[in-house]
Structure 1
């Protein structure tokens, strides 16, 4: 069970799962919501125009129709989908990972700091320098080349 938990908590597995869920399950729901509730409200701003917020660049040519209402509806659908993904998937998983790290006694991840391997290499460099009797270089300085 522990191995399964580690597999599920990997970042790439979670990203893939979120993508599949968003692509499959929410497309129809959000599309229906926007088409049936949001689009009619947006079309109200078109006044007495039966096409809502759309117009034709060339009146007799249907292919020149520009539908501003459909564009606004698509933007709203995207924002709703992004909010659902964040609050239903990303935020709970982020909190669960932080709780798991805290429970296991691991330090919290510092996204602004250096990667763990860089920190370890810096510590090794400083220890080797101290063993040679030299001074420890300042943070970010490189060791002088050995001849």
Structure 2
């Protein structure tokens, strides 16, 4: 059971995934800071002089009842930025790499399989036996069978 777990952990894709999660978390912090400090002020400015920006308060005097539409818009912008970066920096290059590999395999010479190689060897040996006049599957004759003393 532990060997199976070790094999799972040591696979390249698990390590790549863990690196991607760490980098994604760090990048999300950058995008969150960008939208909080640069985009949010513009969204709040659209809301006018209201202290809540694009939000509104359901119960006056209770700050926990503020519906912040600007925060939802900010989260959407965060998502779009992160998704665009992941797509253009990870997905597109990986698809191009896979296409190159597919084209390399298709363009490369076909490697014969083991069965094809063995069949070719058998046919060559049979042709060689026919050329020398021997039977392809004959047993070697002994002296007694050949009639020599």
Specify the TM-score bucket, using the shorter chain as the normaliser: 0.5 to 0.7
Q: How far 1:104 sits from its partner (Å)?
A: 2.3
Matched residues in 2 for 1:103 and 1:30: separation? 38
Matched residues in 2 for 1:86 and 1:14: separation? 16
Q: How far 1:103 sits from its partner (Å)?
A: 1.3
Matched residues in 2 for 1:105 and 1:62: separation? 64
User: Is residue 47 from structure 1 mapped to residue 48 from structure 2 by the alignment?
Assistant: yes
| CA displacement, residues 109-145 of structure 1 (integer Å, 9 cap, x when unaligned) | xxxxxxxxxxxxxxxxxxxxxxxxxxxxxxxxxxxxx
Matched residues in 2 for 1:104 and 1:13: separation? 27
Matched residues in 1 for 2:50 and 2:31: separation? 26
| CA displacement, residues 73-127 of structure 1 (integer Å, 9 cap, x when unaligned) | 0010001000000000011011101111211227xxxxxxxxxxxxxxxxxxxxx
Q: Highest CA radius of gyration, 1 or 2?
A: 2
Structure 2 residue ranges without an equivalent (≥5): 1-10, 108-149
Equivalent pairs counted in the alignment come to 98
Q: Which runs of 4+ in 1 moved over 4 A?
A: 12-17
Q: What's the RMSD between the two structures over aligned residues?
A: 2.3
After TM superposition, list the pairs within 5 Å mapping 1:13-52 onto structure 2: 14-22=16-24, 24-52=25-53
Other-structure match for 2:60 = 59
| CA displacement, residues 36-83 of structure 1 (integer Å, 9 cap, x when unaligned) | 111011111111112211211001111111111011000100010000
After TM superposition, list the pairs within 5 Å mapping 1:47-126 onto structure 2: 47-105=48-106
Contact kept in structure 2, 1:57 and 1:65, CA below 8 Å: yes
Normalising by structure 2, we get a TM-score of 0.58
Other-structure match for 1:132 = none
Structure with the larger helix share: 2
Ranked by relative contact order (alpha carbons within 8 Å, sequence separation 6 or more), the top structure is 1
Aligned pair in 2 of structure 1 residues 13, 102: CA closer, same or farther (>3 Å)? farther
Matched residues in 2 for 1:16 and 1:99: separation? 26
